[in-house]
Amino acid sequence: MLAKCLRYVSVTAKCWCWVLALFVWHTAFAEGPQPTPSILDPASTPAHEIYNLSLFVLTITGTIFVTVGGVLAFVVFRFRQRDDDDLTEPAQIYGSNQVELAWTVIPILIVVVLFLTTARMIFAIQDAPPPKTALDVTVVGHQFWWEFNYPKLGIRAVNELHVPVSSAGTPIPTYLKLLSADVIHSFWVPQLSGKIDLIPNNVNGLWIEPLHTGMYVGQCAQFCGVQHAKMLLRVYVDTPEQFAAWVKNQQKVAASDESVAAGRHVFETQACMNCHTIQGTAATGRFGPDLTHLMSRDTLASGAMDNTKENLREWIRHPDTFKEGVLMPAMQLDDQQLDQVTAYLATLK
C-alpha cells in the first residue's frame, strides 16, 4: 500500500513538474515569434489590473489548496489500514461544534476579503469615466467579421483595429461601444482587456489603454454560428505618428485606376455591391465588410488567411475553401472575371 501511495505521489509530482515547465516556457517566451494572447502577459491598463488581482486570488486559493491537500495527503498516509491491523473499529467521533464553527468562520472571512477586493476592482474598471483625450470606436459584430467605426474621424475599419499607444504623459485610452448586427458575439483581446459581449438590441462598453506598441491578437469568444472559430481579431497599437498616417489613408475614398476598370465593372454587375461598400463608388452595401482599403489589411476574412492576391482570388472563387459555411456565396465567376475583379480589388490600398 505504501508503495502504491508513493507511486501515486511520484507520478503526480512528475506530472506537475512537467506542467510547470510548460507553463513557464509559454509565459516566459510568449512574446517570441508566436503572438500568444496570454492573459498573463498584459499590455494595457485594465489587463494589468486584472492580472494583479488574479495573482492575489491565486495566492489565497493556492494556500487553501496546499493546506487542505496537505491534510488529505497526511490523512491518507497516517490513517490507512495497516497490514497487521487487529480489525477492531477505531474510536467513533460523531462531530464537534467548535470545529464546525472554526471551519465555517474562516471561509467566511476569506470570502469577505476576496469580495471586497473584487468589488473594488469591478467598480474601478467598469465605471471608469473616459478622459477627454479618449478615442471612441464603435464595434459592430457580424457573422463572422468585425466592423470598427471611428465616428469622430469619419472612418470605418474591418477586422483589424488600429489604436494609438497610451503613455503616462499622454493618456489616450480607447473606449469601445459594442453593438451587434445579428447574434451575440464577444470581443476578446486577452493582452489588452477582459472580454465583453456584443448583443443585438443592446449597447455595451469596454475600454483599453495599451501601453506598448505592437500587434495583439484575439478572437470572438461567444459561439455565434458555424464559423465562430475563425472570427479572429487583431489590434494594432501604433505610435501616434503611425496612427495618424493610418487614419489619413483610411479617410481617402477608393483609388480609381483605369487599368482595372474591367474588374470594377465585374464588381458592380455581379451583385458584389449588394453586400459591400467601396467608398467613392456606387457600391454601398452594408451586409458584408467595407472593401475601400482592403489591401491595407494584413489578413483576409477576419484573420482566416494572409492577404495575398492568390488567397483573395480563391476566396472570391470559393469562400468555403477557407471558411466553410461562411455567409458569402461563391458567385460562380469564370476565370477571366476572377482575374479582373482580383486585379481591381488589389488596387484598393
Q: Does residue 129 touch other proteins according to CB under 8 A?
A: no
User: Which part of the chain contacts other proteins (CB under 8 A), choosing from 129-137, 165-173, 216-224, 329-337?
Assistant: 216-224
C-alpha span between 147 and 158 (Å, rounded):
5
Q: Does residue 9 touch other proteins according to CB under 8 A?
A: no
**Angle at the Cα of 162 (from 184 to 344), degrees rounded to 5?**
90
Q: Does residue 119 touch other proteins according to CB under 8 A?
A: yes
SS (H, E, C) 86-106: CCCCCCCCCCCHHHHHHHHHH
Comparing CB distances to other proteins, the nearer of 108 and 282 is 108
- Closest distance between other proteins and the C-beta of residue 310, in Å? 18
Q: Does residue 125 touch other proteins according to CB under 8 A?
A: yes
Comparing CB distances to other proteins, the nearer of 201 and 259 is 201
Nearest partner of 197 among 187, 211, 207, judged by Cα: 187
User: Which part of the chain contacts other proteins (CB under 8 A), choosing from 93-101, 159-167, 241-249, 306-314?
Assistant: 93-101
Residue from 303, 315, 317, 345 binding other proteins (CB under 8 A): 303
- Closest distance between other proteins and the C-beta of residue 118, in Å? 5
| Site size for other proteins (CB under 8 A) | 101
Sequence-distant (≥ 6) Cβ neighbours of residue 217 within 8 angstroms: 35, 37, 189, 232, 233, 234, 235, 303
- Closest distance between other proteins and the C-beta of residue 165, in Å? 21
User: Which part of the chain contacts other proteins (CB under 8 A), choosing from 81-89, 169-177, 266-274, 329-337?
Assistant: 81-89
C-alpha span between 293 and 233 (Å, rounded):
17
- Closest distance between other proteins and the C-beta of residue 182, in Å? 7
Comparing CB distances to other proteins, the nearer of 200 and 240 is 200
Check if the beta carbon of residue 162 is closer than 8 Å to that of residue 236: yes
Q: Does residue 15 touch other proteins according to CB under 8 A?
A: yes
Which residues, numbered 34-73, are part of the site for other proteins (CB under 8 A)?
A: 34-40, 47, 49-50, 53-54, 57-58, 61, 64-65, 68-69, 71-72
Q: Does residue 329 touch other proteins according to CB under 8 A?
A: no
What are 97's three cell numbers?
Answer: 461544534
User: Which part of the chain contacts other proteins (CB under 8 A), choosing from 147-155, 177-185, 286-294, 337-345?
Assistant: 177-185
Side-chain half-sphere exposure of 162, counting CA atoms within 13 A: 22
Which residues, numbered 241-300, are part of the site for other proteins (CB under 8 A)?
A: none
C-alpha span between 50 and 57 (Å, rounded):
10
Q: Does residue 24 touch other proteins according to CB under 8 A?
A: no
C-alpha span between 7 and 259 (Å, rounded):
75
Contacts 24+ apart (CB under 8 A), 74-81: 76/5, 77/5, 80/1, 80/5
Sequence-distant (≥ 6) Cβ neighbours of residue 25 within 8 angstroms: none
Which residues, numbered 189-208, are part of the site for other proteins (CB under 8 A)?
A: 190-191, 193-197, 199-202, 204-205
Which residues, numbered 135-164, are part of the site for other proteins (CB under 8 A)?
A: 143
